Amino acid sequence: MVIKMASIELKSVIVDFPVYGANARSVKNSLLRISTGGKLGADNNIISVRALDNVSFRLEHGDRLGIIGHNGSGKSTLLRVLAGIYEPTSGWCYVEGKVSALLDVMLGMDPESTGYENILLRGIIMGLTREEIESKKDEIAAFTDLGGYLALPVRAYSTGMQLRLAFGIATAILPEILVLDEIVGTGDAAFMDKAQTRFSSIVEASHILVLASHDLNIIEKLCTKVLWLNAGQIAFMGDCQDGVALYKQHR
């Protein structure tokens, strides 16, 4: 029996975002006044921003990749390509393995539904079957420490309680490929140690980790490789310590 190992490969990936209803000159003038990573282009009077420009790399089982760069450099766009949320405009992205993307833990949460109902709803969004969700429901409930509140509509929760529930659901499965946009916070100081332990366990269990963060200390702590994006292009891809040191010199 051949066991497939987790892997990610991108080849010449380009992602363009059209900007409809915008005047080319006004958009160019606006972008010149702010720091932005994307490149501006125009085709048949349709303005587009190139968020990723010819990005190619490969990750194998065991890789821990940190993605760094200023706001607008393409970090979040790249994560969404890896998670299957965005399709490349050109080039291709091949992912072998089950992906868990913690990009927005509140995604899919319905404020009018109860905590228990949201466990089911969010589980379905994550690709779990009803049976799989039911088997994890009690574990998730215990982890959140929300008790009887789980029978109430989520709109009755505080922000911290909502984040407890969302984090508990999002981290209930151990992924082969874990994709993160910054370290997920729970909004509740008393819950942080428990959340950190859970988070560490899924990071360690994942076959491949891809983490985008502005916190270089976290990148150096968790990652073995670093990808520095600048204006949607790869400025550096390689050893984490070398990449972070180079980035600090140029930012």
Structure tokens at 240: 């984490």
Q: What is the DSSP letter of 3?
A: P
Give the whole-angstrom CA distance, residue 4 versus residue 98: 11
The average pLDDT across 39-43 equals 57
Res 22 pLDDT > 80: no
Asked if residue 13 lies in contact with residue 92, where contact means CB atoms within 8 angstroms, the answer is: yes
Q: What is the 3-state secondary structure (H, E, C) of 58-78?
A: EECCCCEEEEECCCCCCHHHH
- pLDDT tens per residue across span 53-106: 999 999 999 999 999 999 999 999 999 999 998 999 999 999 999 888 888 777
End-to-end CA distance of the chain: 49
Domain locations in the chain? 7-97+211-250, 102-206
Q: What is the DSSP string of 68-132?
A: E-STTSSHHHHHHHHTTSS--SEEEEEEES-EEEES-TTTT--TTSBHHHHHHHHHHHTT--HHH
The average pLDDT across 6-18 equals 96
Asked if residue 144 lies in contact with residue 180, where contact means CB atoms within 8 angstroms, the answer is: no
The CA distances from residue 197 to 53, 187, 201, in Å, are 37, 16, 6
Asked if residue 186 lies in contact with residue 160, where contact means CB atoms within 8 angstroms, the answer is: yes
Q: In CATH terms, are 7-97+211-250 and 102-206 the same topology?
A: yes
129 CB neighbour count, 10 Å cutoff: 10
Question: Which amino acid does the sequence have at 211?
Answer: L
Asked if residue 64 lies in contact with residue 200, where contact means CB atoms within 8 angstroms, the answer is: no
pTM above the 0.85 mark? no
User: SS3 for 157?
Assistant: coil
Query: Taking the domain 102-206, which CATH number applies?
Result: 3.40.50.300
Give the whole-angstrom CA distance, residue 132 versus residue 57: 34
- pLDDT tens per residue across span 216-230: 999 999 999 999 999
The domain over range 7-97+211-250 is classified in CATH as 1.10.1200.10: no
Res 2 pLDDT > 80: no
Give the containing element (helix H, strand E) for 41.
strand 39-43
